[in-house]
Amino acid sequence: MIKGDIGLTRQHEYASYIFNAVFGDQTVFQFNGNVRNFGLIDNLPEGCCVEVPVFADKAGFHPVHVGPLPGQLALPVNTSARCEELAVEGCLEGDPRKIFHACLYDPLTSAVCSMQEIKEMVNRMFKAEREWLPRFKTITVD
């Protein structure tokens, strides 16, 4: 390729295939995508983010209902989804305690950090990002 030329060879990223299915000449493209759970996985919280098969075509995106997860998988995924929902609530309400609790009960964080370490981590994150957090009344968790 000559310097300055733009390569037009399609790569393997999903985006070009999705765009081609929705706006171009490809009829349908199937991929696994992250969408909100509105009746797609029965035993996960409504509205949480899930990854399911999705079909893209000229009419848009069509996520596929996959039913319930096996119980041993639904349990940890539910915990993670609830922690994510709590973090979003905390952001919307400006409540640093909800952010702390979301981090505290996150399965990975709680597996490697003590409660005190998580509190210190959350306080450091709030302090480092305080200029971007005007909604929060306080930026420390006591």
3-state secondary structure of 42: coil
Read off the pLDDT band of 125 (50, 70, 90): very high
| pTM attached to this predicted model | 0.75
Indicate the residue among 5, 28, 63 that finishes a domain: 63
Residue 137: the pLDDT is: 77
Domain count within the chain: 2
Higher pLDDT, 105 or 20: 105
Question: pLDDT by residue (tens digit) across 29-82?
Answer: 999 999 999 999 999 999 999 999 999 999 999 999 999 999 999 999 999 999
Report the C-alpha gap between 87 and 36 in whole angstroms.
16
| Whether residue 87 sits in one domain with residue 59 | no
Are 77 and 111 in a shared domain?
Answer: yes
Sign of the CA dihedral 69, 84, 54, 17? negative
- 78 and 119 both lie in a single domain: yes
Range of the domain at 37: 14-63
